[in-house]
């Protein structure tokens, strides 16, 4: 049974990667503008003063403009750093901090490491995804960092996954370690799907 689930997940991830690679630069720019508007409104709706986000890669819906704008408005933004033990460490976002390409094509900022539990203090988590279904089940990219992080939190804040509109689907394969998200943010809308901490 787990093999069938893994195979289904791999196939869906491959399909999402291929679709994302086919997007034009104009489509990416338009999507980033939409994501920025949606995330700004989400932060305002939650009256969030501290959030976690991530530095999007060229293939992901853009979050960088949102991160810069949030910092400018005095919001504390934590960005993830992958650790060898499969957990995430965190640094405070600084637009002037250097970045480096980590493993798996992920861009990470440099800065003082705050430890994995630092994310427990944020008002809102904004995370990447390959896809999300109507129940809030999230398909990640197979590394498990965010599933482990959310699963280890006693009371997680609201968690929203950033995806393209076409990546919001009716149903996704689910394994025991997979974590639900509170909602999704796409370039055109924000949907709340389940209570925080489900």
> What local confidence, expressed as pLDDT, does residue 122 receive?
97
pLDDT at residue number 1: 46
Structural domain includes residue 174 = yes
Position 198 in a domain: no
Residue 181's domain spans which residues?
A: 2-192
Picking from 177, 137, 175, the residue whose alpha carbon sits closest to that of residue 3 is: 175
The rounded average pLDDT for each run of 10 residues, N- to C-terminus, in the chain (198 residues) is 80 92 95 98 97 94 96 97 91 90 80 94 96 94 89 92 96 88 97 74
Q: What is the CATH number of the domain that holds 63?
A: 3.40.50.10420
**Would you state the structure tokens that stand for residue 34, as one six-digit string?**
């939409």
Kindly tell me the burial class for residue 161, based on how many C-beta atoms sit within 10 Å of its own C-beta (0-12, 13-18, 19 or more): buried
Residues 193/41/146/91 CA torsion (nearest 10 deg): -160
Question: Phi/psi zone of residue 196: left (φ > 0), alpha (ψ -120 to 50 degrees), beta?
Answer: beta
- Which residue in this structure is represented by tokens 């925080």? 196
Q: Does any domain span residue 197?
A: no
Enter the pTM of the model. Answer: 0.93
Question: What does the pLDDT read at residue 123?
Answer: 97
Measured CA to CA in angstroms, residue 121 lies from 7, 118, 152 at distances of: 36, 6, 14
Residue 195, pLDDT score:
65
Domain count, the chain: 1
């Amino acid at each position: 049974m787990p093999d069938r689930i893994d195979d289904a997940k791999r196939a869906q991830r491959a399909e999402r990667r291929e679709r994302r690679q086919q997007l034009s630069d104009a489509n990416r720019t338009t999507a980033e503008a939409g994501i920025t508007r949606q995330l700004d409104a989400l932060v305002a709706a939650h009256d969030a003063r501290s959030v976690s986000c991530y530095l999007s890669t060229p293939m992901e819906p853009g979050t960088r403009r949102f991160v810069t704008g949030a910092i400018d408005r005095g919001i504390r933004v934590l960005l993830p750093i992958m650790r060898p033990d499969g957990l995430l460490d965190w640094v405070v976002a600084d637009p002037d901090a250097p970045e480096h390409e980590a493993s798996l094509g992920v861009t990470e900022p440099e800065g003082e490491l705050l430890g994995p539990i630092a994310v427990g203090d944020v008002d809102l988590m904004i995370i990447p995804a390959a896809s999300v279904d109507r129940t809030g089940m999230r398909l990640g990219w197979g590394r498990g960092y965010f599933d482990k992080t959310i699963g280890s939190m006693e009371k997680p804040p609201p968690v929203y996954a950033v995806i393209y509109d076409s990546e919001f689907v009716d149903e996704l394969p689910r394994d025991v370690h997979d974590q639900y998200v509170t909602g999704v943010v796409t370039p055109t809308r924000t949907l709340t799907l389940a209570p925080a901490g489900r």
